[in-house]
């Protein structure tokens, strides 16, 4: 792999949430995160066919505030935790700051999906949706 | 979200597999896929600290043969299946062709991880690794 290779992502939508800052966001959705709106760009409406209320889906986000040259962190920002490689953590600081959020679809209004719980902050770009496989 | 926004990914490694073509690859790792080598670029060696043999991890790949303007498919390429939005499937054809592969770490040799089973074909770029959360 040539180290200068780059791939280009385009957002397919965005998160609208009452969470406004990374500092106050829960570390994981299961830790008291709110529900939110996932606004899919109408250009991608056809790609939603088959998603229904009650589905469990994976939301992939671009963690736009992630710091990309960080390779090790102390998990949960706890100084008592040992330095750990970011590939062994879910830190938003990582070479490619992709977030992975398992959520339930709570409602559908056109190309807007009510989802939750999700710890992503308001304005986080969404790059893909996938079904949970059993 | 401005529709002209783009994010840039860089590969952090690649897959070395006996699977050479998408046509012959299983649809999911659990469907008879082989083990493979995940070769992490030595530049990212520090980000592996804490990954151990036996760990279950998620490998995120760039499905470089995915077709990006496809919004609906017939799942499993079966003409008897109804047209379904790609966000409700795991099709490699999707606007941002990111693959998500749950694997077990079978061995570690420097920055090379033996992983499996995985349906990604030889030469597939890897963009992120994450621990499976319980």
Residue range A9-27: average pLDDT?
92
Average pLDDT, chain A: 94
Residue range A69-91: average pLDDT?
95
pLDDT at A32: 87
Question: Across the interface, do B49 and A84 touch by the CB < 8 Å criterion?
Answer: yes
pLDDT of residue B36 exceeding 80:
yes
Site of tokens 């073509």: B21
Residue range A52-80: average pLDDT?
95
Question: Across the interface, do A85 and B49 touch by the CB < 8 Å criterion?
Answer: yes
pLDDT at A76: 84
- Minimum distance, in Å, between the CA of residue B25 and any CA atom of chain A: 18
pLDDT at B2: 67
Question: Across the interface, do A130 and B90 touch by the CB < 8 Å criterion?
Answer: yes
A41-54 pLDDT, tens digit per residue, is 999 999 999 999 99
Lowest mean pLDDT among A90-94, A101-105, B41-45, B130-134: B130-134
Q: In 3D, which of B57, B62, B9 has the Cα closest to residue A85?
A: B57
pLDDT of residue B63 exceeding 80:
yes
- Minimum distance, in Å, between the CA of residue A66 and any CA atom of chain B: 12
Contact A120, A101 (CB under 8 A): yes
Distance CA A1, CA A92 (A): 24
Contacts of A124 (CB under 8 A, 6+ apart): A14, A15, A17, A61, A62, A63, A64, A99
pTM for the model stands at: 0.95
ipTM: 0.94
Question: Across the interface, do A3 and B86 touch by the CB < 8 Å criterion?
Answer: no
Confidence of residue B9 (pLDDT cuts 50, 70, 90): very high
pLDDT at B100: 97
A91-125 pLDDT, tens digit per residue, is 999 999 999 999 999 999 999 999 999 999 999 99
Question: Across the interface, do A84 and B8 touch by the CB < 8 Å criterion?
Answer: no
C-alpha distances (whole Å) from B123 to each of A16, B16, B40, B99, B119 are 37, 6, 12, 13, 12
- Minimum distance, in Å, between the CA of residue B95 and any CA atom of chain A: 8
Give the torsion through C-alpha atoms of A44, A48, A53, A55, to 10 deg: -120
Question: Measured between beta carbons, which residues in chain A are less than 8 angstroms from residue B11?
Answer: 1, 3, 5, 7
């Amino acid at each position: 792999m040539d180290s200068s290779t780059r791939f280009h992502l385009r957002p397919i939508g965005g998160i609208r949430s009452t969470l406004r800052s990374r500092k106050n966001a829960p570390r994981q959705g299961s830790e008291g995160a709110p529900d939110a709106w996932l606004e899919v760009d109408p250009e991608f409406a056809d790609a939603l066919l088959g998603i229904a209320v009650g589905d469990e889906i994976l939301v992939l986000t671009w963690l736009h505030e992630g710091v990309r040259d960080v390779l090790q962190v102390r998990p949960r920002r706890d100084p008592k935790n040992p330095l750990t490689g970011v590939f062994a953590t879910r830190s938003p600081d990582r070479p490619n700051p992709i977030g992975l959020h398992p959520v339930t679809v709570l409602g559908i209004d056109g190309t807007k999906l009510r989802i939750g719980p999700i710890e992503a902050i308001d304005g986080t770009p969404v790059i893909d949706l996938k079904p949970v496989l059993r």
